[in-house]
Structure formats: C-alpha cells, structure tokens
C-alpha cells in the first residue's frame, strides 16, 4: 500500500474531500465497524488504542476506552488484529504517549509496521517532546500525524506542519472529544490557518459531530475526522449504524 | 553545586519531567513559565506574596520539639508545623502564589484538583480572597471520605465537581481538571496542587513551597545549633516533601519521603508518562496506569512529582513505604503523646519514624507536619471504633 500522505494527497488532488472515522480498538464489533465505515466511503481509519487516562477525550470515548480495557484489550493485542481487518485504506493508530513510551519507541514502531499500520497520532506528545519518537517512526515508515490547536500562535504552525507526516490534524475547538450542537468557529479558522502554511492534507477533528458540520468544515479543510459520533453509534447500535452514518457524511461532503 | 536548581529548558530533572500535554495547552504552559519567571524575579510580586503569607496564612510556621514522643522513640524529634497555617496544611503556600500569579496574568477563574480536599480548600480560600471564580474536581470516593472539606469548599464559594471515572480518586480528579483546562484555557488558570504535571508546575510549585525548608533550616539551627540528621515528609505528589527538602538539600541530612504502600510510585513504579510529566508511575506492562489504594485520600496517587524521581535516581533521597495499619498507629501515637492530631497524610511520616527509630537512636529527626487531622476525624472514628 502507498503511504498515508500519498494516499490522502492523491484522493484530495482528485477533488475528493477526505473522511476518516475513529473507532476504539477492542470494543465489541470494532473490526466490523471499521469494515462498514470503509465500505461506506472512509478514506482512512483511525484505530484508538484504549488508555486508562485519556485526558483529551470526553465521556463517549472515555466510556469506550474503559469498556475495551475491561474486555481485556491490550495495545499489542489490538495491533495484532489489524491485519485481519483487511480493508484497502490506510490505518492510523491513535494513542496516548505512555503506551509508546512503556513499549519502547523502536519496539512500538516495529509492532506498527509489522501489522500494517501506516501512521500514528499521539495527542499528548507535542512538538517539543516528539523528536525522538518521530525519528524512530520515520525510520520504520510510520507517519506521525501532528496536531495543530486553535491556541497555537502563527509562528508555531509552520513548524508543526513541517514535522507532520500523513496529514495535519487541525483540532476543531478548545476542548476534548465529543459531539457538539454546532461546529465551533475555531474549526474552519484553524483549518484555514494551517492550510495557509502547508500543502499537506489538513483534516479537522474534535467536535465535528454530524454530516452538516462535516460539510461546513470541509469548506475550508481537506477533510474531517469523525470520532465520538462514530464510537457512540457503534456502542449503541452496532456496525451497520456506523456504515449508515459514514455514508451520510460521505454524501454530505461530496455534494458540490 | 546544588542539585536542586531550575530544570533545563525542556523542564527536565535528569530524565524526568518535561511537558507532555495536548497541543492546545502548550502555549498556556509556555505563558505560565514566562509569567512565573518574570513574577518570581519581581520584588513587588515577592513582597505581595510574602505579605499574604505573613498576614493571612500565618507564616512563619513554628517548629515544635516533641519531648514525650522523642524520649519514647530515643530520638530528638522536631515538627515543622504546617498544620498551623490558615486552612490547615502546607497547600496554602502554593495556592497563594499561583492565585496571585493567575490574577497578574489576567485570568478570571481557577480550576483545581484535590484528593483530601486540602488543596481544594486552599484554592477556594485564595479564590474568595482574591476575587477569582473557582471550580474544584474531586474523586467521588474522596468526596465521601472527606465530606467535611467538600462542605468547606462550598462554604467558601467554590463549585465542587465529582470525578466519576476510573478509581474516582485523585488521579481521576487531575484528569477532569486537565479536561476542563483544555476547554477554558483562555480565561482559566489551572491551579495544580503538587510538584507534578507539565513544566513549569513541578518547578514553580517547589519554589512556592521552599519557604517551608528555608524557615525550618533557620529554626532548626536555632533550636539545636545544627542541621538535623534526618528530614522526613510524606509524599503524594510530593509538594510538602520537596518544600522541606529544599532547605536541606545542601546539608548532610538524610532526606526521606514516605509513600503509602498502596501508592508507592517510586518504590513500585517504573518510569512512565501521565498528567504531563515523565516520572515513576505505577502501571502495568502495557502502560495502563494502576489505581492506587491508600487510607489517605491525599496520597492515593499512582505517580509522583518528577523531581522526586530524579532525587531517588541520584540516591539523594529515599522513598520507603508504610502500610495503612502503621499509619493508623502513627496517627494515634502523636495525638496521645504530644496532643497533636496529624492529618492522615503526615501520619505516614510518623509511621516511618516510629518504625525506624531504633536505627536512628540519638539522631535529630525533622518531620514536616504537613496538615492537621480535623478532616480525618470522622473517617478515623469509623476505623478506631
Ligand atoms: C496534609 C497533607 N499532606 C500531604 C498531602 C500530599 O500532597 P504532597 O505530596 O504534594 O505534599 C496532602 C494532600 O492532600 C495533604 O492534605
């Protein structure tokens, strides 16, 4: 498979908006949820590796993480299952830094590449702390996505974009993951600020909560990440509901 | 050269510390670092803080020699009486500093986490005094065992919000406070209650608590003509310990930080990263943070401040653990022999002293009595009946 960035760029450059759902690994039917999402038009998938103390996550993903951990999910266990998902889009893992640190940078990077993972998102590893992991990940062919937050001053954004591989994750609001009634103004603002300094794909995540909001974010961004809205449907209704939802978002962002 | 200096540019004490926070919080941590550095170097800020410490918190806190218990244990035992500060613990030193700094930086609101409730009460107190809005996150389990402090915080005008996730104790209260801060960072200062978290907190909070050690060193010389042989404090995140250690780091004194057996980050942990810092952490083989279990809500924490991890690694300080049963005995011991009811947290330090006294015969032992036990009386009534 081509790399994450190459894959996303190629699709973007064809005029397609990018849709990346997030699913907590180890949750009941998580792999079925991913397959349904890809069949419905996801361009890549984020697999969340559950952590005991997810400080960037709101109630839905906290609950999902807790359930997955109680069901016995472990990082190596989830990684080992990734090749069995068998989808034709890149898979990115999203996880907190202690999982990487405890496993060891080299060992974690090779666990990822041996299991067909294309990229990694580590939300509590900001630019200044990311140097060594990024080098190790680069060497192993794991593309480390960097986050750009609304609070970042202008001078910081080019440095974040330069270090980012795969895509740049524009954080849509000040706050944690979870569904909101409206798209925050910060979502398109940060996407625009990041796009002004990089040609890499720029996706907005955190607080993009439904098809209409995804469409609104995509006026500026190259695509969106759908986290809590997907995980909630998987927990409440199962994989088919995830497929239906992703199809709905797909249609909304494809509409000219 | 002293080993207790400013951390390096990345906030490291040796390999420990750092700033492992979401991108959203990086600028706020950088501003706080610059704001603290500037304020700490400003004589006007220092004078204002000093004035509050003297005229509001009641500093300097006294040094009490425990003749009865000392005789019984065969040592010379001195207590640094942080329990006599306003609000009943050492926590007020840090909180007054941070609340003044928050105001100076134009923040209107503070959030805080609390375990035993002492940091929450101190935060609510400073907020009331300085006209700040205050929200305190507290584990639901701790709200039950420290109900008196919940009432005190509310009386002082603070909002107390239960942390319902995980073990529902201090670790989870920190998670909730950080989640609040991520959403409110533009108007809000996170008033962290110990020498933990992302840079600059471990350094800044230590500087605000140095006053304990600086005073104690003078007082000790006055009382005994010399530095103590042993300096002992309990360790949750480690703020009262680092405060008293900082006065004696350059002396020959043995430095002892006492952890609960069920929350022994240094004793049972391995390096990990949570709550913004790299430090010793109780965790499983995959890096999932383990729940601590301690009779004392203030020490019920699976991590420890990074500078303690550094001092442990250097061998400059040692971090033994005591059991809940030893703590209960230590609590009663001080009450019966000296007429002082200690907080359950500092009863850990007493428990270690009682256990180790035979190996310290004739030595001068200085203990930080970090708080008073009033908040624990209801819990102890159940345990001791
Ligand atoms: C009296 C007292 N001592 C100690 C602690 C533990 O904190 P630290 O280790 O930061 O001193 C607490 C925390 O609640 C406390 O109330």
Strand partners, B317: B255
Closest CA to B41 of B207, B205, B188: B207
- State the average pLDDT for chain B: 97
CB B124 within 8 A of CB B191: no
From first to last of its 256 residues, chain A has per-residue pLDDT tens of 579 999 999 999 999 999 999 999 999 999 999 999 999 999 999 999 999 999 999 999 999 999 999 999 999 999 999 999 999 999 999 999 999 999 999 999 999 999 999 999 999 999 999 999 999 999 999 999 999 999 999 999 999 999 999 999 999 999 999 999 999 999 999 999 999 999 999 999 999 999 999 999 999 999 999 999 999 999 999 999 999 999 999 999 999 8
Would you say domain B12-51+91-201 falls under CATH 3.90.1150.150? no
Q: Do domains B12-51+91-201 and B58-89+210-384 have the same CATH topology?
A: yes
The whole-number pLDDT of residue B290 equals 95
Complete DSSP assignment for A144-161: EEEEE-TT--TTHHHHHH
- Tens of pLDDT, residues B122-165: 999 999 999 999 999 999 999 998 999 999 999 999 999 999 98
The whole-number pLDDT of residue B167 equals 86
The whole-number pLDDT of residue B166 equals 84
The whole-number pLDDT of residue B260 equals 97
Identify which of B298, B306, B334 to mutate to test ligand 1's pocket (most ligand atoms within 8 A of the CB).
B298
pLDDT band of B252, cuts 50, 70, 90:
very high
Would you say domain B58-89+210-384 falls under CATH 3.40.50.1000? no
Residue B230 has pLDDT above 80, yes or no: yes
CB A157 within 8 A of CB A146: no
Q: Which residues line ligand 1 (CB under 6 A)?
A: B 89, 115-116, 118-119, 194, 234-241, 298-299, 343, 345-346, 370-371
Q: pTM score, two decimals? A: 0.97
The whole-number pLDDT of residue A1 equals 57
The whole-number pLDDT of residue A2 equals 77
Three-class SS of residue A175? coil
Q: Enumerate the domain spans of chain B.
A: 12-51+91-201, 58-89+210-384
CB A171 within 8 A of CB A191: no
Residue B345 has pLDDT above 70, yes or no: yes
Crossing angle for the helix pair A239-254 and A228-236, to the nearest 10 degrees: 150
Interface test with A, best of B17, B26, B184 (most A CBs within 10 A): B26
Domains of chain A plus CATH, in order, are 4-254 (3.20.20.70)
Between A53, A66, A75, which is nearest B175 by CB?
A: A53
Give me A7's structure tokens: 């894959």
CA distance B327 to B344: 7
- Tens of pLDDT, residues A177-212: 999 999 999 999 999 999 999 999 999 999 999 999
CA distance A53 to A56: 9
């Amino acid at each position: 498979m081509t790399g994450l960035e190459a894959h996303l760029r190629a699709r973007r450059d064809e005029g397609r908006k990018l849709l990346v759902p997030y699913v907590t690994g180890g949750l009941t039917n998580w792999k079925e949820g991913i397959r349904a999402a890809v069949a419905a038009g996801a361009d890549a998938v984020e697999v969340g590796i559950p952590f005991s103390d997810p400080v960037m996550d709101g109630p839905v993903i906290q609950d999902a993480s807790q359930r997955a951990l109680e069901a016995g999910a472990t990082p190596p266990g989830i990684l080992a299952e990734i090749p069995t998902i068998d989808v034709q889009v890149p898979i990115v893992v999203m996880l907190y830094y202690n999982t990487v640190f405890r496993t060891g940078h080299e060992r974690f990077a090779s666990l990822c590449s041996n299991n067909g993972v294309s990229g990694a998102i580590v939300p509590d590893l900001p630019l200044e702390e990311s140097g060594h992991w990024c080098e190790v990940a680069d060497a192993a062919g794991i593309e480390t996505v960097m986050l750009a937050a609304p609070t970042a001053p202008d001078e910081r954004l080019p440095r974040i974009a330069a270090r980012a591989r795969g895509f740049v994750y524009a954080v849509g609001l000040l706050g944690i993951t979870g569904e909101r009634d409206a798209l925050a103004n910060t979502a398109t603002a940060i996407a625009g600020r990041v796009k002004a300094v990089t040609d890499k794909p720029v996706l907005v995540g955190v607080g993009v909560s439904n098809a209409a909001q995804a469409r609104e974010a995509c006026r500026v961004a190259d695509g969106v990440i759908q986290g809590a809205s997907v995980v909630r449907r998987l927990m409440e209704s199962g994989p088919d509901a995830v497929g239906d939802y992703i199809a709905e978002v797909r249609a909304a962002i494809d509409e000219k | 050269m002293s080993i207790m200096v400013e951390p390096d540019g990345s906030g490291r004490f040796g390999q420990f510390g750092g700033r492992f926070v979401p991108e959203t919080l990086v600028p706020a941590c950088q501003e706080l670092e610059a704001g603290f550095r500037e304020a700490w170097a400003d004589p006007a800020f220092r004078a204002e803080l000093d004035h509050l410490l003297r005229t509001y918190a009641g500093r300097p806190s006294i040094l009490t020699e425990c003749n009865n218990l000392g005789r019984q244990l065969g040592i010379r035992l001195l207590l640094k009486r942080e329990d006599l500060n306003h609000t009943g613990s050492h926590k007020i030193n840090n909180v007054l500093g941070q609340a003044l700094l928050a105001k100076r930086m134009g923040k209107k609101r503070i959030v805080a986490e609390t375990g035993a409730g002492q940091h929450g009460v101190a935060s609510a107190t400073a907020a009331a005094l300085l006209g700040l809005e205050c929200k305190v996150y507290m584990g639901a389990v701790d709200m039950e065992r420290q109900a008196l402090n919940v009432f005190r915080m509310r009386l002082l005008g603070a909002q107390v919000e239960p942390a319902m996730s995980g073990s529902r104790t201090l670790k989870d209260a920190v998670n909730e406070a950080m989640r609040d801060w991520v959403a409110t960072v533009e108007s809000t200062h996170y008033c962290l209650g110990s020498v933990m978290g992302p840079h600059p907190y471990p350094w800044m909070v230590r500087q605000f608590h140095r006053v304990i050690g600086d005073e104690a060193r003078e007082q000790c010389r006055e009382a005994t003509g010399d530095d103590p042989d042993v300096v002992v404090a309990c360790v949750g995140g480690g703020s009262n310990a680092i405060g008293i250690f900082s006065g004696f780091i350059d002396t020959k004194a043995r430095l002892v930080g006492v952890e609960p057996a069920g929350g022994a980050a240094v004793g049972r942990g391995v390096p990990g990263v949570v709550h913004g810092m790299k430090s010793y952490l109780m965790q499983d083989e995959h890096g999932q943070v383990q729940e601590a279990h301690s009779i004392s809500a203030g020490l019920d924490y699976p991590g420890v401040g990074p500078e303690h991890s550094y001092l442990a690694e250097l061998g400059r300080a040692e971090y033994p653990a005591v059991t809940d049963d030893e703590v209960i005995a230590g609590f009663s011991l001080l009450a019966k022999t000296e007429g002082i009811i200690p907080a359950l947290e500092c009863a850990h330090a007493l428990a270690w002293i009682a256990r180790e006294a035979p190996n310290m015969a004739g030595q001068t032992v200085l203990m930080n009595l970090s708080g008073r036990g009033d908040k624990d009386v209801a819990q102890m009534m159940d345990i001791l009946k």
